[in-house]
Amino acid sequence: TEEVIGDFGLVQGAASGDEIDRLDYTLGTPRNAVMVATTKLAGGHSDEYMLFNEETLFPMVDTTGTTSDKVRSDIVFFETPRGGAVFSVGSINWVGALAWNTFDNNVATITRNVLQDFLTHADANRRFSEPAAG
């Protein structure tokens, strides 16, 4: 079964909302980025959420949260060429879900696990990709 992540929070009642971002290779997401999780596609957000007009041609049809799979919030991870890594939660509302239920929730657990992993591997030459020679 799939666990719902962050269906609670102090900002708009969820970990995904207000400002959202998605993985999209055509818009510059690094090719080695991996989508870890996503909001529900087409219907995961209300029609108050829309694509930016820079992403579509006119007329703008099927660009709202209930009609477009592109209106979503993705959790993304990727490694950088020099041994670093990026973990992006895809929504400004994530922080509002951290303290929910006195930090006893899946948003806080995911955040804690990622930060612990980053700290653990910061001094150990990271287990991620080594920089390319040259």
CA dihedral of residues 85, 90, 96, 99 (deg, nearest 10) = -40
Q: What are phi and psi of 75, to 5 degrees?
A: -90, 125
Please provide the average confidence, as pLDDT, over all residues in the chain: 83
Question: pLDDT tens digits for 15-52?
Answer: 988 888 899 998 899 999 999 999 876 567 787 777 77
- Identify the pLDDT of residue 59: 62
- Identify the pLDDT of residue 27: 87
Question: Residue 54 — pLDDT band, cuts 50, 70, 90?
Answer: low
